[in-house]
Amino acid sequence: MKDFNFYAPTRVVFGCESEEKLPGLIKQYGGTRVLVHYGGGSARRSGLLDKVEKMLGDAGISFVELGGVVPNPLLSKVREGIALCQRENVDFILAVGGGSVIDSSKAIGYGVGYQGDVWDFWDGKAVPQSCLPIGVMLTIPAAGSEMSSSCVITNDDGMLKRGVNSDLSRCKFAIMNPERTYTLPAYQTAAGATDIMMHTMERYFSKYEDAMLTDAIAEALLRTVIEATPVVLHQPEDYKHRAAIMWASSLSHNDLTECGTEKDFACHKLEHELSGMFGVTHGAGLAAIWGSWARYVLDKHSARFEKFARNVMGVEGATKGIEAVEQFFKSIGMPISIPELVGRKVTNEEIDALVDKCSRGGKMNIGAMEVLTPDDMKKIYQKANI
């Protein structure tokens, strides 16, 4: 078991009455001039933004707004947000949405107090030294950004998708009302569930095999998501199962399932290049790549895959466990290959470009349980491309 240092400072305010707590929470964390940041329109259509505006107005909290964050959020929008916050003396960011809006908020938060170009943080030229305080009203359980230290941004110039990790960006609070997820399209529900599972699995598949409690938490979390997702796909307004998925989203990526294990995240790195290049949904990209990664690394880690098969998928045998996961992904409408993900086979040149980006020009390996070289990355993309 690996030594660990667990830090999860985000206040979670959960349930169907949670939204009413918003003005008090913003005041508690020092917000006096707020940027309300949101996406492409779902929060307006659901009435959530109107409610937020009214609550802030009634509480005498002044605010400006910036919408238009796209899935796989863009650096150009981040720059727009930084300029707006500087001009308007914003001292608090409220993210109303999912991982894309939260990550855009984190990036704006880093940039406001920084003299240089904000992309420096993703380029490895600088390390964030400050971040504006951020609060979240979560509308999609998926990325887990509401409790994570991670911020994933795509640079429109070259469509480079990169992550930066810093505790500075951990959200002060996350308001989670499962009822807000009733309007999610089935595809986003399923892709979100896949992402939640993958945040857990990319920590479970670790060379540290004796973190008993962490393993048990991870297995229970995975079984819960596997049970709840088909239910909400058939009954979108099932509160109990929506709530289970929403809570799993946060617990899968707040490092709880990493206590005593080690983050692998090779599939995430491989996927980020796919969603950066093809604009696909992150969770779907993970489903498309996982089976190929699993079969590629299976031989050296079969005991771990056998435990996973037995305790999570309820089958005996490492390969049977991998097949069961793929079967589950298919059953909820997720792709299990790159052609299913992007609608065609990608070309050899595109695979070379994916590997080049993922390995930072051939200079970087990925993975932890099994370290992958650029050559390994290429073989996994090729395996997934049939």
Site string for ligand NZQ, 240-259 (x = CB under 6 A): -------------x------
Picking from 180, 338, 302, the residue whose alpha carbon sits closest to that of residue 249 is 180
Q: Measuring CA to CA, how many Å separate 140 from each of 99, 102, 113, 185, 294?
A: 8, 11, 29, 10, 27
- How far apart are the C-alpha atoms of 106 and 100, rounded to whole Å? 10
Query: CB atoms < 10 A from the CB of 103, how many?
Result: 27
Placement of tokens 């509308």 in the chain? 139
The SS3 call for residue 91 is coil
- How far apart are the C-alpha atoms of 54 and 56, rounded to whole Å? 5
Q: According to CB under 5 A, which residues from 216 to 245 bind Zn ion?
A: none
- How far apart are the C-alpha atoms of 173 and 136, rounded to whole Å? 6
Q: According to CB under 5 A, which residues from 166 to 195 bind Zn ion?
A: 195
Q: According to CB under 6 A, which residues from 43 to 62 bind ligand NZQ?
A: 43
**From 35, 134, 140, 322, residue interacting with ligand NZQ (rule: CB under 6 A):** 140
Q: Is the CB of residue 163 less than 8 Å from the CB of residue 151?
A: yes
145 binds ligand NZQ, rule: CB under 6 A: yes
Nearest approach, Cβ of residue 89 and ligand NZQ (Å): 26
Q: How big is the chain, counted in residues?
A: 386
Site string for Zn ion, 332-371 (x = CB under 5 A): ----------------------------------------
User: Positive or negative, the Cα torsion across 359, 167, 293, 75?
Assistant: negative
Nearer to ligand NZQ by Cβ, of 18 and 275: the residue is 275
200 binds ligand NZQ, rule: CB under 6 A: no
- How far apart are the C-alpha atoms of 73 and 91, rounded to whole Å? 22
Nearest approach, Cβ of residue 43 and ligand NZQ (Å): 6
Query: CB atoms < 10 A from the CB of 344, how many?
Result: 10
Stretch that binds ligand NZQ, among 65-73, 115-123, 290-298, 370-378 (CB under 6 A): 65-73
Nearest approach, Cβ of residue 281 and Zn ion (Å): 11
Picking from 74, 92, 190, 76, the residue whose alpha carbon sits closest to that of residue 135 is 92
**From 282, 301, 304, 378, residue interacting with ligand NZQ (rule: CB under 6 A):** 282
Nearer to ligand NZQ by Cβ, of 77 and 253: the residue is 253
Stretch that binds ligand NZQ, among 22-30, 54-62, 114-122, 144-152 (CB under 6 A): 144-152
From Zn ion, ligand NZQ, none, interface partner of 276 (C-beta below 5 to 8 A by class):
none
Nearer to ligand NZQ by Cβ, of 184 and 233: the residue is 184
H helix intervals, the chain: 22-28, 42-45, 48-58, 75-88, 99-112, 186-204, 212-234, 239-252, 266-278, 282-297, 302-308, 318-331, 338-342, 348-358, 374-384
**From 162, 170, 172, 180, residue interacting with ligand NZQ (rule: CB under 6 A):** 180
From Zn ion, ligand NZQ, none, interface partner of 368 (C-beta below 5 to 8 A by class):
none
- How far apart are the C-alpha atoms of 326 and 201, rounded to whole Å? 14
Neighbour-count burial of 367, counting CB atoms closer than 10 A to its CB (0-12 exposed, 13-18 middle, 19+ buried): buried
188 binds ligand NZQ, rule: CB under 6 A: yes
Nearest approach, Cβ of residue 226 and ligand NZQ (Å): 18
Q: According to CB under 6 A, which residues from 71 to 90 bind ligand NZQ?
A: 71-73
255 binds Zn ion, rule: CB under 5 A: no
103 binds Zn ion, rule: CB under 5 A: no
> Which residues does 216 contact at the CB level (< 8 Å), separation at least 6?
none
Nearer to ligand NZQ by Cβ, of 42 and 292: the residue is 42
Nearest approach, Cβ of residue 143 and Zn ion (Å): 6
From ligand NZQ, Zn ion, none, interface partner of 145 (C-beta below 5 to 8 A by class):
ligand NZQ
- How far apart are the C-alpha atoms of 88 and 32, rounded to whole Å? 12
Residue numbers at the binding site for Zn ion (CB under 5 A): 195
Residue numbers at the binding site for ligand NZQ (CB under 6 A): 39-43, 71-73, 97-101, 103, 139-140, 142-145, 148, 150-152, 180-181, 183-184, 188, 192, 195, 253, 268, 275, 282
